[in-house]
Structure 1
């Protein structure tokens, strides 16, 4: 269950397994499930429901139909802004933290030119937000789907340089791998990377941004229950 005190919820992609068809009924079912949340929900695209589908273009149309600007289905006061070129990319500042959501997926490179353009747009979106809000916030949280591996280096390499200049704590939190990882794989040591557990077997991860420089992010993987 979603923690009752959650200010907002983010789904980090993969609304279905990679082996199941990309049928509209799946998108509709997940739409209904997430709509039950009391807190507003933001959704990051995942490869299983887009680029790994047999027809990625049709899958993207379904994603847009059910999940684009999903948070608007709730009344909330988060000051959300969206990237004009990629409306699935969003950002907002709350509690002294800049949150940035990106369409950066794992899986199959279905269109190399599209990947290159999208990664450039992702980097531009992060940089625009850092220019606008970087001086006033205490930390940055990047929300994505993809693991930081080689076929995303055109985003992560320059982002790492930006992180070094930013200096403040950064959390890159993502899905895709479905196993818990907590590490610092980047040259910029102010970036903490977390890969979340598989949603089907674990409760939602509760993240608390503390504002404390030594422990800026706290994680509850078991919804307050002891790990088994």
Structure 2
């Protein structure tokens, strides 16, 4: 009997206690001010402040902001791009930020003031990513990729790998292929193509390096801004800037085998589904935005049969956000993701 009890005790020491789920928040695409209605900008910023209060009350470990801190028709001035320092200061927890297309990729357009996109990206990197500190308040030990892609971060929480990738909307900043639909809305020229090629390679290297660094991780979360599946869901639009990144994520997730969550903003509609047949362990979460100033509380329990639970925080718009196409309705759900 004593030997049986001793063996049971030793096995109990060898087996670690089941880790607790991780609770964090994802949001993006806000506040959107409009030049034709400047009087509404204060109200939109107040909605974001109210959302931050609701997020604080939910007590997440941290938040991830998935790009687009301004509307596409707002000028890409220094003052506007620095606006997140104001609302992020309301958070009582860390906020990890990855830039979106409205902050730099689309700044060449007339409606945004005809700024140089590469210069705007350099400005963001210098002001937001000069060190490893996140926005908001509270400690979060981040590691950043080497220059120039210092906006890419990774960190661990309770055995789960988190990382961000610099993949914005508008085709990832890549000029369109000849005849590609939507080309008139995309950057042009050799400088844009060269910037894309360098950053795309750096993103894929950061992805591979991050997974290789923690092979024992219980799960993984990838945050980026672009809706890389818009063409597949809606049947139109550009796609040349996303193919290599989608393939790299699918390969890493499939090899990892444990639960992976891919989070993005960009299309402003809350959905979650499994978009990659070759990586059935990957779930995609797309956060609301613009009209619906809402965030998503994510509960991630890698050992559970349904590893993800999603809960909306904040108020929908009046009227609420319309999906960009019929395929993108909130009815896209995963039976495995709760």
Tell me the TM-score normalised to structure 2 length.
0.62
Which residue of structure 2 lines up, in the alignment, with residue 130 of structure 1? 211
Following superposition, the deviation at residue 189 of structure 1 comes to 0.8
CA distance in 2, matches of 1:64, 1:89: 10
Residues 163-195 of structure 1: CA distance to partner in whole angstroms, max 9, x if unpaired?
Answer: 111111110000111111211111211110111
The whole-number CA distance in structure 2 between the counterparts of 1:65 and 1:166 is 34
> Contact between 1:120 and 1:155, CA under 8 Å: does it hold in 2?
no
Q: Secondary structure at the match of 1:19?
A: coil
What TM-score results when the alignment is normalised by the length of structure 1?
Answer: 0.90
Compared with structure 1, are the counterparts of its residues 200 and 67 closer, same or farther at alpha carbon in structure 2 (3 Å cutoff)? farther
Residue 105 in structure 1 maps to residue 168 in structure 2: yes
Q: How far has the Cα of 1:145 moved from its partner?
A: 0.4
What is the alpha-carbon distance in structure 2 between the residues aligned to residue 49 and residue 215 of structure 1? 35
Matched, 1:71 2:147: no
Shift of 1:7: 1.1
Alignment of 1:1-228 (within 5 A): 1-2=51-52, 3-4=55-56, 5-54=59-108, 55-68=116-129, 69-71=132-134, 74-76=137-139, 78-85=140-147, 86-107=149-170, 108-109=173-174, 110=187, 111-134=192-215, 136-149=216-229, 150=239, 151-187=241-277, 188-198=279-289, 200-222=291-313
Q: Which of these two proteins has the greater Rg computed from alpha carbons?
A: 2
Per the TM alignment, residue 72 of structure 1 is displaced from its structure 2 partner at its CA by 6.6
Structure 2 distance, partners of 1:45, 1:144, is: 8
Q: Distance between the aligned counterparts of 1:58 and 1:129, measured in 2?
A: 28
SS class of match (2:299)? strand
Q: CA deviation at 1:70?
A: 5.0
Question: Following TM superposition, by how much is the alpha carbon of 1:34 offset from its aligned partner in structure 2, in angstroms?
Answer: 1.1
Distance 1:35 1:66, change over 3 A: farther
Q: Using the TM superposition, give the Cα deviation of residue 117 of structure 1 relative to its aligned residue in structure 2, in angstroms.
A: 2.0
For structure 1, the 5+ residue unaligned runs are none
Aligned residues: 224
- Root mean square deviation, CA, Å: 2.1
- Deviation by residue 1:61-109 (Cα, 9 ceiling, x = unmatched): 3322432245177441x33111113211010111121001110111152
Task: Map Cα deviations across residues 47-67 of structure 1 (whole Å, 9 max, x no partner).
Answer: 001110022133223322432
